Amino acid sequence: MEKNQKQSNSVFIHLVVVLLLCSSSVSVSERIVPLLQSYEKPIFRSNFQTIYDTSKYGVFHLSNGLAQTPQMGWNSWNFFACNINETVIKETADALISTGLADIGYVYVNIDDCWSKATRDSKGQLVPDPKTFPSGIKALADYIHGKGLKIGIYSDAGAFTCQVRPGSLFHENDDADLFASWGIDYLKYDNCFNLGIPPKKRYPPMRDALNATGRTIFYSLCEWGVDDPALWAGTVGNSWRTTDDINDSWASMTTIADLNDKWAAYAGPGGWNDPDMLEVGNGGMTYEEYRAHFSIWALMKAPLLIGCDVRNLTAETLEILSNKEVIAVNQDPLGVQGRKVYATGKDGCSEVWAGPLSGHRLAVALWNRCSKVATITAPWTAVGLESGIRVSVRDLWQHKVVTTDAVSSFSASVNAHDSHLYILAPATPSYSVQ
Ligand SMILES: *[C@@H]1O[C@H](CO)[C@@H](O)[C@H](O)[C@H]1NC(C)=O
Ligand SMILES: *[C@@H]1O[C@H](CO)[C@@H](O)[C@H](O)[C@H]1NC(C)=O
Ligand SMILES: *[C@@H]1O[C@H](CO)[C@@H](O)[C@H](O)[C@H]1NC(C)=O
Ligand SMILES: *[C@@H]1O[C@H](CO)[C@@H](O)[C@H](O)[C@H]1NC(C)=O
């Protein structure tokens, strides 16, 4: 009985998805075609659209005008967890400016869980924790806005947040109004204590409540990928988590990259798959592993939300986070998520990830997930180029063109757990970079 009902529910959901796809394809096709039509022969192989399936690209998107490229900024959770206060948030805003990170796009200063008091006030409103945020969130927002940055806050589509502060389920309108009155620019909306109500019921009310405030607020869904949000969240939020929380380890980072890859066809301007915040700089991975983490997150069009203590960055961490060429791949206006296209070696641990960029270019990562140095080859057949095409190859970590004359494939020796990231641009004059 219960099983039958589940089956008929899922058939129904599939039908709805198909109908939505059909009904919206007409209106969006005009938007998509000009962006993608140039990816045809003669430079690109006829299977290009198969390798980089973009059939869902731009089909769903929230029309609040935000997230034309993935969001960039900082979030308190990965480094500070619950140990936050208004001082550390202000010092972080100051550090984003003094390090130059704000200038290159990291503009959201996002407060995660633990900012609020354990109970609502007598009028049912959320209250900032008086011990840690004695000046209130409005004053903090003013401070952050005064620096030219934006402020994000956190709540939960449940009875409580994960750290057992009041949640916003059934308080969506009050809480959205309060956030808007403080000048909030971004909401991360978590999934704890959700009373077993499906995400598809719990997340849209906050979208509508935020919209009704009239303030443009980035809406970041964090339902941990439990209900395959790529299939439905595009009309609900500007990004949706596709997985459980990341932790500061190679095992976690690689697992999450693979899980997020599955949904590549659904990302596009307006809505992004979110494999969770960066761990770069937190100490649990090597320099090479962090460089791979940052390269693959950039290529996957993931949000670039720094998760370390920006008041105390090492030179290596700053070098990774401020690589403008890698950031430009992430922020490319075409907005097509790169993906794993080829794997060789033991257990397929020599990986090629790639994605199209504007201007007839391709971003290609050679990611060595083996435990020893390896030579990794990206054949044109695998990345979607015609075999006779001649390309120039720019290394985005060495900051130089390594060849102007690669034909049929490109190879490099890559250290264990490292990833190189390249831009391939056809050298054929009539197809050169615009
Ligand atoms: C604020 O938080 C930071 C980071 O956890 C901590 O080092 C600092 O002592 C705290 N300051 C106050 C006044 O509690
Ligand atoms: C609210 O939604 C409408 C329709 O989707 C959209 O045009 C408008 O820009 C949204 N407003 C805000 C403040 O997000
Ligand atoms: C981190 O994530 C990995 C992979 O998902 C998991 O095996 C490990 O237990 C996690 N570590 C911690 C400390 O949570
Ligand atoms: C700064 O970071 C280093 C590790 O990179 C750590 O040893 C040190 O304690 C940190 N300093 C502060 C003030 O947090």
pLDDT in tens, 286-337: 999 999 999 999 999 999 999 999 999 999 999 999 999 999 999 999 999 9
Pair (358, 378) in one structural domain: yes
Given a cut of 90, whether residue 161 has pLDDT beyond it is yes
Where b means 16+ CB within 10 Å and e means fewer, 95-117 reads: bbeebebbebbbbbbbbbbbbbb
pTM of the full predicted structure? 0.91
Q: Which ligand is nearest to the CA of 255?
A: 3
In a domain, 53, yes or no: no
Q: Which ligand is nearest to the CA of 308?
A: 4
In a domain, 59, yes or no: no
- 107 near 145, Cβ under 8 Å? no
Which pLDDT band holds residue 388 (cuts at 50, 70, 90)?
confident
Ligand 4 and 314: CB distance under 6 A: yes
Pair (175, 263) in one structural domain: yes
Given a cut of 80, whether residue 348 has pLDDT beyond it is yes
Q: Which ligand is nearest to the CA of 86?
A: 1
Q: Among 331, 358, 380, which residue terminates a domain?
A: 331
Pair (200, 255) in one structural domain: yes
SS3 state at 430: helix
Determine what percent of the chain is predicted with pLDDT higher than 90.
82
In a domain, 159, yes or no: yes
Report the CATH number at residue 383.
2.60.40.1180
- 332 near 113, Cβ under 8 Å? no
Pair (349, 269) in one structural domain: no
Which of 36-40, 104-108, 210-214 bottoms out in mean pLDDT, i.e. has the lowest? 36-40
The reported pLDDT for the residue numbered 46 is 72
In a domain, 109, yes or no: yes
Pair (130, 215) in one structural domain: yes
Pair (224, 147) in one structural domain: yes
Given a cut of 60, whether residue 377 has pLDDT beyond it is yes
The reported pLDDT for the residue numbered 387 is 85
Q: Whose CA is nearest to atom 11 of ligand 2?
A: 211
**Closest ligand 2 atom, CA of 64?**
14
Pair (232, 98) in one structural domain: yes
* Alpha carbon of 311 to ligand 4 centroid (Å): 9
The full 3-state SS of 373-401, as one line of letters, equals CEEEEEEHHHHCECCCCEEEEEECCCCEE
The reported pLDDT for the residue numbered 63 is 82
Please pick, among 113, 156, 185, 190, the residue that the annotation labels catalytic: 190
Given a cut of 50, whether residue 358 has pLDDT beyond it is yes
Q: Whose CA is nearest to atom 5 of ligand 1?
A: 83
- 380 near 361, Cβ under 8 Å? no
d(CA 370, CA 349): 5
Angle at CA 187, nearest 5°, toward 282 and 260? 55
The reported pLDDT for the residue numbered 54 is 79
Mean pLDDT estimate for the chain: 90
Pair (315, 402) in one structural domain: no
Which pLDDT band holds residue 38 (cuts at 50, 70, 90)?
low
Q: Whose CA is nearest to atom 5 of ligand 4?
A: 314
In a domain, 280, yes or no: yes
Please pick, among 142, 177, 244, 245, the residue that the annotation labels catalytic: 245
d(CA 27, CA 247): 40
| Full residue range of the structural domain in which residue 233 is found | 72-331
Mutational pocket test of ligand 4: of 312, 316, 320, the residue with most ligand atoms within 8 Å of the beta carbon? 312
Pair (395, 413) in one structural domain: yes
Given a cut of 70, whether residue 285 has pLDDT beyond it is yes
Q: Among 331, 362, 396, which residue terminates a domain?
A: 331
**Structurally, how many domains does the chain consist of?**
2
Given a cut of 80, whether residue 29 has pLDDT beyond it is no
Q: Whose CA is nearest to atom 10 of ligand 2?
A: 64
Pair (239, 281) in one structural domain: yes
Given a cut of 60, whether residue 28 has pLDDT beyond it is no
Q: Under 8 Å CB-to-CB from 116, ≥6 apart: which residues?
A: 126, 127, 128, 129, 161, 165, 166
- 246 near 259, Cβ under 8 Å? no
Ligand 1 and 79: CB distance under 6 A: no
In a domain, 433, yes or no: no
d(CA 389, CA 43): 6
Q: Among 302, 331, 360, which residue terminates a domain?
A: 331
Pair (391, 280) in one structural domain: no
Report the CATH number at residue 79.
3.20.20.70
The reported pLDDT for the residue numbered 426 is 84
Ligand 4 and 312: CB distance under 6 A: yes
DSSP per-residue string spanning 306-373: E-S-TTS--HHHHHHHT-HHHHHHHT-TT-PPPEEEEEESGGG-EEEEEEEETTTEEEEEEEE-SSS-
The reported pLDDT for the residue numbered 42 is 64
Given a cut of 80, whether residue 83 has pLDDT beyond it is yes
- 144 near 108, Cβ under 8 Å? no
The reported pLDDT for the residue numbered 1 is 35
175 is catalytic: no
Q: Whose CA is nearest to atom 10 of ligand 1?
A: 85
pLDDT in tens, 67-78: 999 999 999 999
Which pLDDT band holds residue 14 (cuts at 50, 70, 90)?
very low
The reported pLDDT for the residue numbered 56 is 80
Q: Under 8 Å CB-to-CB from 343, ≥6 apart: which residues?
A: 349, 350, 351, 352
In a domain, 37, yes or no: no
d(CA 209, CA 215): 10
d(CA 49, CA 63): 26
Pair (365, 422) in one structural domain: yes
411 or 62, which is more confident: 411
DSSP per-residue string spanning 29-87: HHHHHHHHTTS-TTTB-TTHHHHT--TTTTTS--TTS--SS--EEEESHHHHTT---HH
Task: Output phi, psi for 44, to 5 deg.
Answer: -100, 140
Given a cut of 70, whether residue 7 has pLDDT beyond it is no
* Alpha carbon of 211 to ligand 2 centroid (Å): 6
Q: Specify which residues 423 forms β-bridges with.
A: 363, 394
248 is catalytic: no
CA distances from 43 to 108, 333, 344, 377 (A): 38, 20, 25, 19
Given a cut of 70, whether residue 182 has pLDDT beyond it is yes
In a domain, 67, yes or no: no
The reported pLDDT for the residue numbered 30 is 35
